[in-house]
Chain A
Amino acid sequence: MPVEHLIILGAILFCVGLIVVVTRKNAIAVLIGIELMLNAANINFVVFSQFDPERLQGQVFSLFIITVAAAEAAVALAIILKVYHYFKTADLDKINELRG
């Protein structure tokens, strides 16, 4: 498989994730979008890992990312849960405490 295709896949995935993050109202969906974007980055790392057959730094880094993403998801979900408890909703449009 040529590298270009894989990079494009990564880019598409990143874009989909980004769109999800920006457009979806549900906080959980936004979180999912973030996971998508992380995974797009992972794809890029894995793709470029073939140019480093000795150390496979890209693959190792993607494993780190997956771990960190898992941790991040746990923390984020906990926050969302607290936010939901506090605001009785997970709709991001209604949670606008930061409004100036």
Chain B
Amino acid sequence: MIELQDLIAPTAFNPMIYWVLALLGVPMISFISNFFTKGKAPVWAALLLLINTLISVYLAFNYWYGEPISIKGTWFSVGDTTFGYSLYLDRLALIMTVLVNGISFLVHVFSVEYMRTDPRKARYFSYLGLFTFSMLGIILFHNLLVMFMFWELVGLSSFLLIGFWFEKKSASLAANKAFIINRIGDVGLLSGLMILFAQFGTFDLEALKALMVFSEIEDGNWVTHFTNNGQQVMNSLDGRWLSAAGIALFCGAVGKSAQFPLQVWLPDAMEGPTPVSALIHAATMVAAGVFLLARVFVLLDAQALEVVAAVGAATAFMAAFAALSQFDIKKVLAYSTISQLGYMVMAMGVGAYSAGLFHLITHAFFKGGLFLTAGIIIHQLHQLESDKIKFNSQDLRVMGGLSKYMPITFLCFLICALALAGLPGFSGFLSKDAILLNATAWAGQKGGGYYIIPVLGYITVLFTAIYIFRLVFLVFTREFRLPKIVGESGIASKLKEGNWLLIAPAIILAILSVSIVFGANVKAENTWFMQFFSVPIYLVPEAYAAFSLVDLTEETIKGLHSWVAIVSIGLAAIGLIVSYFLYRPISKKALVFQDAPEPRGPLGRLSLNHWYQDDLYEKVIAKFIVLQSKSIAWFDEKVIDGIVDGFAKIHVVFAHIVRWFDKYIIDGFVHLTVFASGRVGQATRSIQSGNVQTYILSALVMLVLLLLWLVF
């Protein structure tokens, strides 16, 4: 029998905790101190993040090969239940700290230039610190309750950063939307936490995993036996709760990682400053969901994983489709992020744990790079704006031919785009290939309708190539369209390459998007990443466990691998060619793109409006909620208030009666007493007239009367 208290017992003091506290503390210092630094904030914050990056790199190099470091402690106890905290430094945590700190540092450097003229830049850098801090908290802590707190902090800091330019109505609305939609997902996550707590009585992930091994399915019930403080505990729930727990935990990831049906907040989140978008999309917010899935991966059962895979595939496809026809450069990238996150989630769902994480890392680099280069373009175009010349510096229609003006930016963008499209030689190819391979193998085992998931993945490859090269062609080739639109030809000469603060981070991310970083291999399995991260075994009771990819023979994989690679490269190439024919410099579409109308066909409109999901929410769910609120308000006003009013009225009437009684009966007695004593007083005082003669007279009368009485 396993003892719960042993599993969550505080560990002996470990000096590693100083390093962990340093990792968490440095961004926190950045958060707090930047309220006071004013003009020096950018440099100071970037310096702090550089220190933190160095710490995380040092830790990664030192502890990479060791056993995972686990530090546990007691946080507080309520009755018999102890709530602990636990820190866990395994390879996943180490690589994620490097990733988050690294990207955050690059974003800080980029922001130094990007936010140079912003009056509130100290606050901006402060929020960036908070964002990094909360994300590192999720990564380092290994207790679901503590992770949930940092999870919420990530939500808060994303809210603050998306709505950073809150003077813009759209920005504050987008921040609200992101926050509220994330809350919906968090309700799910919280329910998942509660189910696990009800079953196992702890939030500690290591303990949960250990206990999950000992839980079993008996007659369709999910039963766990363990001892707590020596006492036997037997928790039993219906077996479906096991799947429910997994799906509920996944709900949190659906919100944070922008999966269908909660992905609508992410395109709107583009209202924030572009470096923030890079941070959100590459390393922090959206990665949190996938990271959580990776942490609870072994606790998910077959049904939950199927839901995960289906949602991931649907999201990947839907978002890639929506990205095809956007006019806003950041919107395209936003939908691209959703789509790539769909890949990661789908990978988790099919059991390709390491492939999903691999894609998380590669995607962080190339998407970060894409966002930063888009930021450079937006920033440089924005410089051209003046009081006379107004245009939307994010609109594809004003761009074009920028490779002439910003060759380095173009090169970085191109490398990242190639990585995103998944062409060989770039990191995206490796991870996407691994995901597709695993998904195909998974579908092959399950057979039948399950093939829809890898098929959606393949279609997404095609769409990805089309939309990203559409961007490359429209932004960088042909000629600069802005002068024609604003009618001022001199404006083109003013457009310059961004300075080194903007370009250096983009270059670094572009370099990291080349596949050689992960090993000179064309096969994902041979990269160092996949070597170090093996797929863990599911710990859920066998009856509910999903089919594990670990069980596949090497021959099956090998047989699949070549044709999966061919299909995915082929599809990416087709996408590139389609995109070339549609948007190449001399194509009809590209020639008149400055006045390109919004697509009119049903498919085009579907794509532009992202499957009308926003409208659906607004017209159906929001309306329904408003209607419901109105009816509740009516009920409140008429019925509840009516009852309250009625009571009040009865009270008033009663009070009137009491008042009358008081006034006339009680007061009457008092008045009567007063009146009587007054009268008596009056009567007696009239005798005491002060006139001596009257006294004598009355004495005389009395005397006479006395005499008369005595005599007779």
Check B684–A100 contact: CB distance below 8 A: yes
In the complex, residue of chain A having the shortest beta-carbon distance to the beta carbon of B694: A22
Bound complex: CA A72 to CA B696 (Å) = 18
Determine whether A54 belongs to the interface, using a CB cutoff of 8 Å to chain B. Answer: no
What is the chain A residue whose CB lies nearest that of B688? A100
Q: Are B693 and A96 in touch, CB under 8 angstroms?
A: no
> Which of B685, B693, B700 sits near A100, CB closer than 8 Å?
B685
Q: Is the CB of B697 within 8 A of A100?
A: no
- Collect the chain A residues with CB atoms within 8 Å of residue B692's CB: 92, 98
Whether A92 lies near B691 (C-beta < 8 A) is: yes
> Is there an interface contact between A99 and B693, defined as CB atoms closer than 8 Å?
no
Are B689 and A18 neighbours in the complex by a CB distance under 8 Å? Answer: no
Say whether B665 faces chain A, with CB atoms less than 8 Å apart: no
Given contacts A18-B700, A21-B696, A22-B697, contact A96 B684 (CB under 8 A): no
B697 contacts across to A, CB distance below 8 A: 22
Report the nearest A residue to B689, measured CB to CB: A99
Contact of B690 among A23, A30, A98 (CB under 8 A): A98
B586 part of interface (Cβ distance < 8 Å): no
Q: Does A93 contact B (CB under 8 A)?
A: yes
Decide yes or no whether A4 CB sits under 8 A from chain B: no
Chain A residues contacting B691 (CB-CB under 8 Å) are 92-93, 96, 99
B677-693 CB mask vs A (1 if < 8 Å, else 0) is 00000001101111111
- Per the CB 8 Å criterion, the residue count for chain A at the interface is 13
CB-CB under 8 A from B700, the residues of chain A are 18, 22
For residue A97, CB closer than 8 A to chain B, the reply is yes
A30: which B residues are within 8 A, CB to CB? 693
Residues from chain B with Cβ under 8 Å of A21 in the complex: 693, 696
Tell me how far the C-beta of B166 lies from the nearest C-beta in chain A, rounded to whole angstroms.
84
A23 contact set on B, CB distance < 8 A: 693
In the complex, the answer to whether A22 meets B696 with C-beta atoms within 8 Å is yes
B690 touches A96 (CB 8 A): yes
Task: Please encode chain A, from 62 to 100, with 1 for each CB lying within 8 Å of some chain B CB and 0 for all others.
Answer: 000000000000000000000000000000110111111
Q: What's the least CB distance linking B679 to chain A, in Å?
A: 15
* Size of interface on B: residues with Cβ below 8 Å to A: 12
Q: Considering the chains assembled together, what is the distance between the CA atoms of A97 and B690 in angstroms?
A: 6
B693 nearest CB neighbor, chain A only: A22
What separation, in Å, do the CA atoms of A93 and B691 have in the docked complex? 6
B687 touches A100 (CB 8 A): yes
Chain B contact surface mostly: helix
Among residues of B, the one whose C-beta sits closest to the C-beta of A23 is B693
A99 CA / B684 CA spacing, docked (Å): 11
Against B, the Cβ 8 Å flags (1 = close, 0 = not) of A32-53 are 0000000000000000000000
Chain A: CB-nearest residue to B692:
A92
Q: Is there contact, CB below 8 Å, between A99 and B690? A: yes
Bound-state CA distance A22–B697 (Å) is 6
> Which residues of chain B come closer than 8 Å to A98, judged between CB atoms?
688, 690, 692
- Which chain A residue lies CB-closest to B684? A100
Report how far A96 CA is from B697 CA in the complex, Å: 16
Complexed CA–CA distance, A18 and B689 (Å): 20
Nearest A residue (CB) for B686 = A100
Give the residue name and chain of the B residue nearest to A93 (CB): B691
A86 to chain B, nearest CB (A): 15
- Nearest-neighbour CB distance to chain B for A32, whole angstroms, equals 14
A34 nearest CB across to chain B (Å): 10
Give CA–CA (A98, B588) in the complex, Å: 127
| Contact in complex: B696, A96 (CB < 8 Å) | no
For residue B689, which residues in chain A have a CB less than 8 angstroms away from its CB? 96, 99-100
Q: Inside 8 A of B687's CB, which chain A residues have their CB?
A: 100
What's the least CB distance linking A19 to chain B, in Å? 10
Interface mask (B151-167 → A, CB under 8 Å = 1, otherwise 0)? 00000000000000000
Give Cα A22–Cα B693 distance, bound, in whole angstroms: 5
Provide the bound-state CA to CA distance between A18 and B696, in Å.
9
B685 touches A92 (CB 8 A): no
Whole-angstrom distance from the CB of A17 to the nearest CB of chain B? 12
CB of A91 to closest CB in B, whole Å: 11
Give B695's nearest chain A residue, CB to CB: A98
Min distance, Cβ B234 to any Cβ of chain A, angstroms: 94
Residues of A within 8 A of B690 (CB): 95-100
How many angstroms between the C-alpha atoms of A30 and B691 in the bound complex?
Answer: 13
Please give me the residue from chain B that is nearest to A18 by CB atom: B700
In the complex, the answer to whether A99 meets B696 with C-beta atoms within 8 Å is no
Within 8 Å CB of A99, what residues of B? 685, 688-691
User: In the complex, what distance in Å separates the CA atom of A98 from the CA atom of B692?
Assistant: 8
Nearest residue, chain B, Cβ from A24:
B693
Interchain CA distance A86-B180 in the complex, whole Å = 96
Nearest-neighbour CB distance to chain B for A10, whole angstroms, equals 17
Please give 12 more A-B residue pairs, beta carbons under 8 A apart, in addition to A92-B691, A97-B690, A99-B688: A21-B696, A22-B696, A22-B697, A30-B693, A92-B693, A96-B689, A96-B691, A98-B688, A98-B692, A100-B684, A100-B685, A100-B689
Chain B contacts to A: CB under 8 angstroms: 684-685, 687-693, 696-697, 700
Please, could you name 23 A-B residue pairs with CB atoms under 8 Å apart, sorted by A? A18-B700, A21-B693, A21-B696, A22-B693, A22-B696, A22-B700, A23-B693, A30-B693, A92-B692, A92-B693, A93-B691, A95-B690, A96-B691, A97-B690, A98-B688, A98-B690, A98-B692, A99-B688, A99-B691, A100-B684, A100-B685, A100-B688, A100-B690
Residues on A lying within 8 angstroms of B by beta carbon are 18, 21-23, 30, 92-93, 95-100
Please list the 10 inter-chain residue pairs (A to B) with the smallest Cβ-Cβ separation, ordered nearest first. A99-B690, A100-B688, A96-B690, A98-B690, A100-B685, A22-B697, A22-B693, A96-B691, A99-B689, A22-B696
